[in-house]
Amino acid sequence: MGCSELTRRDFIKYSAAAAAAASIGLTVPKWAMARDGDVDRWVKGVCRFCGTGCGVYVGVKGDKVVATKGNPDAKTNFGFLCVKGMMAYKIMEHPDRLKKPLVRQADGNFKEAGWDEALDLVAGKFKDLRTKYGKDAVAYYGSGQAMTEETYTFNKFWKGGLGSNMVEGNPRLCMASAVGGYMSTYGSDEPAGSYADIEA
């Protein structure tokens, strides 16, 4: 069954069926493979949506990502994906996805800009603010979706280059509710064990 044919009611029904199947050791149901069409090849990867690190196979057709399925050999997820990981491939070509910089105009509307124009604008504003108010007047807000290498480089640039300590990688906001739940449930501010522990 293709994802586009799934109604919400179907989805809940199949989710319950999947959970039941998993509890008695059945393999991943076919509907759990999100796909929009045939694929040329499946590429082994890791879901980048959250920090769990579920093993995936990414379906590629031509130069486009068109499907995702869980990797049954991955010890993290044993072939299962949550709905975010299952649907993440749809982000790639979604019409709402920003692929070019947008610069806010005086009237509040956004105007598409080239990368050089946008970077010059941001660099100029940072420079003005530092000159006027000092090094800590500029701040960097990161993303959990950034690669480790990108985050490392940006931290170096920000602290060593710009000399500002105003760095936030995003976890304080992103994980705030989860950490609250972990602390009150497990007494630990991070996932306290593997999924297999839940059974035990």
Instruction: Give the nearer residue to ligand SF4 in terms of CB position, either 47 or 138.
Output: 47
How far is the C-alpha of 103 from the C-alpha of 127, rounded, in Å? 18
- Give min distance, CB of 74 to ligand SF4, in A: 10
Facing residues of 34 across strands? 68
Facing residues of 61 across strands? 64
| Helices (H) then strands (E): counts for the chain | 7, 8
Which of 174, 198, 173, 199 lies closest to 185 in space, CA to CA? 198
- Give min distance, CB of 56 to ligand SF4, in A: 7
Residue showing the smallest CB distance to ligand SF4 in the complex: 85
Instruction: Give the nearer residue to ligand SF4 in terms of CB position, either 102 or 173.
Output: 173
- Give min distance, CB of 178 to ligand SF4, in A: 12
How far is the C-alpha of 67 from the C-alpha of 56, rounded, in Å? 10
- Give min distance, CB of 28 to ligand SF4, in A: 12
Q: Which chain residues interact with ligand SF4 by CB under 6 A?
A: 47, 49-50, 52-54, 77, 81-82, 84-85
How far is the C-alpha of 3 from the C-alpha of 35, rounded, in Å? 7
SS3 90: helix
